[in-house]
Amino acid sequence: MPRKTPAGPPSVRALVLLAILAVTALTLDQFAKYLVVSNLPLGEQVTVLGDLLILQFVKNPGAAFSLAAGSTWIFSILAAVVTVVIIVLARRIRSIGWAVVFGLLLGGVLGNLTDRLFREPSFGLGHVIDFISTPWMIPAIYNIADICIVSSMGLFILLTIRGINLDGTRSVSSKPGNLVDGAAQDAEKSPASRAGTVEPQVEPHRSDA
């Protein structure tokens, strides 16, 4: 059966960290997009580190990494739902790790949602500003919000594998080897083992002469 370790730090610390990360991610994302829109012509490539890092201003009507173009309104609704879910779950978070997960996720979702709500062509259908290209790693153009979302998913997988819960407790599954050891220890503590073993007495053989 899974066991739980004691709870982690107070929820206030986790909530503050979540809020700071979300605001920081949103601010960096929007500021970077502002610089790109103000200084880069649409579609033009600027080489920063050879093929390792290229800046290219594009307008993305789809999801992260330019996927599913043409379904902007669907992603706007999903982003709004994710935002509400994170806010509802926030009061249950006491784990610093999970605070980082939801802080990065919330900041990334809000960064792209802001574009969809307030950029052209219309409210809820706005195109997301993408500008980071790393063709050696992935054949897509993305932004800081996308990086935050992907990073949060990676940390989500890590925390899940380690069995760390939202409240800071840690679930530990009993392994087969531990069960065998536990059974052996229980056997040693049983009344029969404490009483000791009684060796059978064998009467000597007598022959009648």
Which stretch of DSSP H or E encloses residue 171? strand 171-172
Q: Give the three-state DSSP class for 54.
A: strand
Which among 21, 2, 16 has a CA at the least distance from the CA of 155?
21
Phi, psi torsion values for 89, nearest 5 degrees: -80, -15
Catalytic residue among 51, 146, 181, 186: 146
Give the span between the Cα atoms of 136 and 48, in whole angstroms: 14
Catalytic residue among 130, 167, 181, 186: 130
Q: Which residues contact 152 (CB under 8 A, 6 or more apart)?
A: 100, 101, 102, 103, 104, 105, 108
186 is catalytic: no
Cite the active site residues.
130, 146
